[in-house]
Amino acid sequence: MRIIVIGAGKVGYTLAEHLIAEEHDVIIIDKDDEVIERCSGSLDALCIRGNGANAKILLEAGVDKANIVIASTESDESNMLACLISKRLGANYTLARIRDPEFNESQMLLQNELGIDVAINPERATALEISRLLRYPFAGSIESFAKGLVEMVEFRAQEEDCFVGIPMKDLAGKLPRLPRILYAMVERNNTVMIPGGDFRIQPGDKVFVSGDMLTITEYFRFLGRNKHKVRSVMLLGGGRISYYLSRLIVPMGIHVTLFEINPVKARVLSEQLPKVDVIVGDGTDQDLLEEQGLSQMDAFVSLSNRDEENLISGMHASRSGVPKVIAKNSRLAYQDILNDLGLDSVISPQFITSSTILRYVRARENSNGTKIERLYRLVGGKAEAIEFIARKGDSYIGIPLKKLTMKKGSLVSIIVHQGKIIVPFGNDHIEENDHVVIISVESGISDLNEVLYK
C-alpha cells in the first residue's frame, strides 16, 4: 500500500521502519532538514521536506493515490489539518495522533467533521496498558486477542512454581490440578522460543500463557500469584499519562498518590482529579517518597519526562519492597538491558502508539485482500501473534491438529469457535469461520495455509 507518514519523530520513524519491513511504499513528510536527511539515509522511503498540512506538499507526495495517511507530528492541530486536507485531496484513510485531553472531549465531533478515520491518543493508550498491568500485577505484559475474549499474560517463572523442570508433555499427567492453559512462548536469554513437548521451563524464564480470562485467573490463583491485589499506587510525574491513568484506576477503587514538582501543574491536576492525593515535590527525593509511604504501596509507576529518572526511581521502589513497579522508557533500544536489571514492566508510549497504528494499517490491508485479520507484535517485536479466519476449502479444516504439519517456530495458540474459546491440543480441529490465533517467532506469515498443512 502507499502510505504517507507526516512527522518522523520517534513514533513516525518507528512506524515507517515497520511499514517498510512489511513492504509498503512509504512517503515521509517532515519539516526538519536534519530529520529528512537521517530518514533518507536509513529508510527505504521517499522523503519530502515540508509542512504536512500544505496541500502542495501533500500532492507532491501523491496524497490522491495514498491508501493511508498517518499524521504523527508534535502538534495536534497540524495533525488534524493534515488529515482534513488529505481527505479532501482524495486520501483513502487517515489516522491522526491527537493527545490533548481537551480535544479528547469532543473527539467524535472532530473526527466526523475533519475526516479523521482514527484518532490515536498515545498517552491514553499507554494509560490503558498500565491499567491492565495493575489489574494483573504479577504480569509483565498483557495482550488481548479476538475482541478481548482471549488474553495472553507474561510472567516470570520462579523456583517454587510447580511446573518448573517438568517437560511440557508430562504436565497434565504430573499436575492434574493445574488448570490447562497454553504455554505460548518462553523468552530466555533474549531469545523467544515456542515450547515443544520436551521443553522444560526454568526459573527466571519469561513465560507467556494464553487463555480466556477465567482460566487465566484460576491458573494464577493455583500458582498463588494473586495474593497482592493493587489497592494503592504511587505515580511519579503529573503528565498526561498520569492524568488518564488516574481517571481509569480511581473508579476501580485504587488509591492514587501523585507527585508533581510544578505547583501550577499540581494545582490543575488536583482540580481535575478530586480523589487523587497530589503531592507537590520532587519524585526522585527518597525521603519524600518514604514519607508518603512508598514501602507500603502495592504499585509504583514512574511516568516523568526523563527516562533515566523513571528507571532509577523504579529500581529504588523495587528495592524498597514495592511488589509492582512500572517504568516509562521512550527508548526501545535499552529494553533488553532493563530486563536484566529486574525491571519487568517497562513501557514505551512510542512503541504502544506505533503498534496501535500498525494494527489499524494491517486491518486496512486485510480489506485489500490478504487474509490476516489482525497482527500483534510481541516481546518488542521478537514474535508475532496473527489472527486469521479459517476459510472454506482450506486443507486443514476438520483435521485434528496432531495429524497436521506445523511450520517450525509457529504455534496455533487459540481457536475461537462460535464465540467459544478453545485452547487447542492435539485432538482439536479447526472448522470453517473459526478465528485462529497463530503465534510465531518468524515474521512475514500472511496465510494460515503457510503454517498448517497436511
* 41 is an interface residue for other proteins by CB under 8 A: yes
**Shortest distance, position 42 Cβ to other proteins, whole Å:** 6
Q: Residue 33 interacts with other proteins (CB under 8 A)?
A: yes
CB of 43 to other proteins, least distance (A): 8
Please report whether residue 55 would count as binding other proteins according to CB under 8 A.
no
The pairing of beta strand 232-236 with beta strand 255-260: parallel
Minimal distance, residue 5 CB to other proteins, in Å: 11
Query: Beta-carbon neighbour count of residue 221 at 10 Å?
Result: 12
Size of site (CB under 8 A) for other proteins: 12
- Of 24 and 429, which CB lies nearer to other proteins in the complex structure? 24
User: Which secondary structure element, helix H or strand E, spans residue 405, and what is its range?
Assistant: strand 405-406
Give the 3-state secondary structure of residue 148: helix
Angle (nearest 5°) at CA 376 between 154 and 194: 55
Based on the shown chain and the rule CB under 8 A, indicate whether residue 42 belongs to the binding site for other proteins.
Answer: yes
Q: Is 40 in the site for other proteins (CB under 8 A)?
A: yes
The answer to whether residue 450 forms part of the interface with other proteins (CB under 8 A) is: no
Residue 372 interacting with other proteins (CB under 8 A): no
Q: How far is the CB of 27 from other proteins (least distance, A)?
A: 6
Nearer to other proteins, 42 or 202 (CB): 42
CA dist list (Å): 427 to 387, 414, 417, 439: 21, 14, 15, 19
10 Å Cβ neighbour count for 428?
Answer: 14
Q: Does 27 bind other proteins (CB under 8 A)?
A: yes
> Which of 32, 44, 77, 105 contacts other proteins by CB under 8 A?
44
How far apart are the two ends of the chain, measured CA to CA in Å?
A: 32
Cell output for 265: 501543574
Question: Which range in 40-48, 82-90, 286-294, 325-333 contacts other proteins by CB under 8 A?
Answer: 40-48
- Contacting other proteins (CB under 8 A), which of 38, 46, 306, 399? 46
- Residue 45 binding other proteins, by CB under 8 A: yes
Footprint of other proteins on 2-21 (CB under 8 A) = 2
DSSP string covering 319-333, please? HTT-SEEEEE-S-GG
Mapping DSSP onto H, E and C, the string for 194-251 reads CCCCCCECCCCCEEEEEEEHHHHHHHHHHHCCCCCCCCEEEEECCCHHHHHHHHHHHH
248: which 3 cell numbers?
A: 481509569
26 touches other proteins by CB under 8 A: yes
- The residue ranges that bind other proteins (CB under 8 A) are 2, 25-27, 33, 40-46
